[in-house]
Amino acid sequence: MSAKAARFPKTPAAIGLTLFVVAWMTLVIILPLANVLFEAFARGVAPYLTSLAHPDAISAVKLTLLVAAIAVPLNAVFGIAAAWAITRFEFSGKGLLLSILDLPFTISPVISGLVWVLLFGAHGWFGAALQDAGIQIIFALPGLVIATILVTLPFVARELIPLMQDQGTDEEVAAVTLGANGWSLFFRVTLPNIKWALTYGVLLCTARAMGEFGAVSVVSGHIRGLTNTLPLHIEVLYNEYDSVGAFAAATLLAGLAIITLILKTFLEWRFAGELAAHRKH
Amino acid sequence: MSLIVSNITKTFDHFPALTDVSFQAEPGEFLALLGPSGSGKTTLLRLLAGLDQPDQGKVEFDGIDYLALNPRDRRIGMVFQSYALFRHMSVAQNIAFGLTVRPSKERPSKAEIKATVERLLKLIQLEDFGHRYPSQLSGGQRQRVALARALAINPRILLLDEPFGALDALVRKDLRRWLRQIHDETGVTTIFVTHDQEEALDLADRVVVLRSGQIEQIGKPVELYHRPQTEFVFDFLGSSNPAPARVDGDTAHFDGFSVPVISATPLNGQKTTRFRPFDTQLATEGAGFKAKLVSVLPAGPSLRLELKGDDGTLYEVHQAHDSNSADLKLRDTVYIRPTKVYAF
């Protein structure tokens, strides 16, 4: 990272503040995470593995990955399109579009799930028509995917917009005068310039897509082995007092989160270097 | 093969950026678009490159209607004020870009592209910099790479937007001479935009002076300087002092003396004429505009004196370093006499 904090003298206040932050983080992050591990292995390794090998657990992991695998690429494409439109063109209603883009961050995920039930559920606006056509959206994979898409919509666009605004259009305009068509322009100029921010956005989007609970919970219907994603699976087990099972599944989710965190830190380090080089330019 | 721009008009949200602009660039000519910021010169450049469309008017090159052509088909090499180098590509890749994006039928072979890049790297005197990235180059080096990249597509016209705007004075002067040399070697019709009158007069074969989106005057640097047609051109090309006079044909009459007057058309009557700081004589007595010495700047090819008239008018006067003026002290009273004046 390029920005280093100015060094303050190590006064008792400074030491106290640092200790407070470390203690607080231990209390609210490290301790619960350690507890997850502790509870998962409370009865040893064998029960831990058995509960992970349960078909419901495996199907929950598969479903979680499948939902993320569909939702994240769609949001990446949308994010690039939205960032491109917002930073490269002038149009009326741009401010409104930017505000709407933030909506999924500000509204409760439960609402994000509920809107789909109200639209596509059995008693929703399109419920009857869908039922006649034999298409099931709510309490099925499509519902899980669209709920996840809605909740994770802003991640990629929000990463790209400030970067693309900062980079400006000069390089793209130059490419056009040099004879580049739209295709070359995007793949040879735009994409290489945003690749790290894009990767970073996709990563955040993936982490959120896999961990999403609220919206998914509303549209899932909690059908074991069918529509339970990993977070929902954990809830079900916990409600049934299967604490080893619940915490074992939680270690998977926490593991995914930690992998994401490591990748994110790596990218931040990598991305900061690139950004610094870009700024010098 | 000349570029003909006729009656171009462009309006942005009711703001007239360009009004009825017409000029012609001859093959191989080096043309400057000179004007203060907001005069429409960059807008004009963008219209030529196809990055904007005019509301009215025509742009023709070699008989081809350029306004109907997509910017990528115009083969206009553009050098941007910010250079706009591709930051993720090496210098060599930057220069090769215009060739490598061509459709496969028209694309030169890899060996040909490599040869072109090497030839251009040599031209811009950066032979050993092909593998570097733009962020590892100085401003002047980036400028040269941007030029090589534009030249690589073998452009019909080269456009440069404030090519020396972001460089420091020394590099600027060096690069200016070098750019002229490159132009003479390649012979490509070149149009550059600048707000620096010295740059325009020094470099260009002809200068188009723009003011508020309209052409004030087109001419060779010498013509512009010696025969300015409007007050604006006179004031923009150098320092100017006002002098109210009674003009009578080719003579301007002042209180106690008369001097020749230069004007585009014969003029008569009371006029505010203008004169250059170096077209002056200073005396401690006699006829002239009475003024007090306010400051002396001894640096440069001549002594620069600032004087304040009794009526508050500020005058700038240049005198030789070894003239009597060198002995003047601040607040001394002197009489300024122009040796020739311009009237419009």
pLDDT, tens digit (0-9, with 9 covering 90-100), for A229-251: 999 999 999 899 888 889 999 99
pLDDT beyond 90 at A226: no
First to last CA, chain B: 36
pLDDT tier at A2, thresholds 50, 70, 90? very low
Q: Write the ipTM.
A: 0.83
For residues A230 and B116, give the distance between their C-alpha atoms in angstroms, rounded to a whole number: 58
3-state secondary structure (DSSP) of residue A96:
helix
pLDDT value for A271:
66
For the segment A239-267, the average pLDDT, to the nearest whole number, is 87
User: Which chain A residues are within 8 Å of B98, Cβ to Cβ?
Assistant: 178-179
pLDDT value for B168:
82
For the segment A89-94, the average pLDDT, to the nearest whole number, is 89
Is B153 within 8 Å of A178 when comparing Cβ atoms?
Answer: yes
Q: What is the DSSP string of B78-124?
A: EE-TT----TTS-HHHHHHHHHHTS-TTTPPPHHHHHHHHHHHHHHT
pLDDT value for A121:
84
Tell me how many helices (H) and strands (E) chain A has: 15, 0
Mean pLDDT per 10-residue interval, chain B, length 344 residues: 92 91 94 93 93 94 92 92 93 96 92 95 92 92 94 94 84 87 91 92 94 95 92 92 90 91 88 92 89 89 91 91 85 92 92
User: Which chain B residues are within 8 Å of A189, Cβ to Cβ?
Assistant: 86
Residue B331 phi/psi, 5° resolution?
70, 5
Q: Which letter does DSSP use for residue A42 in this model? A: T
Q: Which two tokens stand for residue B166?
A: 């972001």
With contact defined as beta carbons under 8 Å apart, do B7 and B22 qualify?
yes
pLDDT tier at A281, thresholds 50, 70, 90? very low
Nearest to B343 by CA among B286, B292, B270: B270
Is A281 within 8 Å of B134 when comparing Cβ atoms?
Answer: yes
Is A177 within 8 Å of B73 when comparing Cβ atoms?
Answer: no
pLDDT value for A273:
59
- Chain A's closest residue to B78, CA to CA, is A177
Rounded to 5°, the CA angle B230-B260-B278 comes to 75
pLDDT tier at A280, thresholds 50, 70, 90? very low
Nearest to A71 by CA among A153, A171, A178, A2: A153
Is A193 within 8 Å of B50 when comparing Cβ atoms?
Answer: no
Q: Is B158 on the interface with A (CB under 8 A)?
A: no
A109 Cα distance to chain centroid: 13
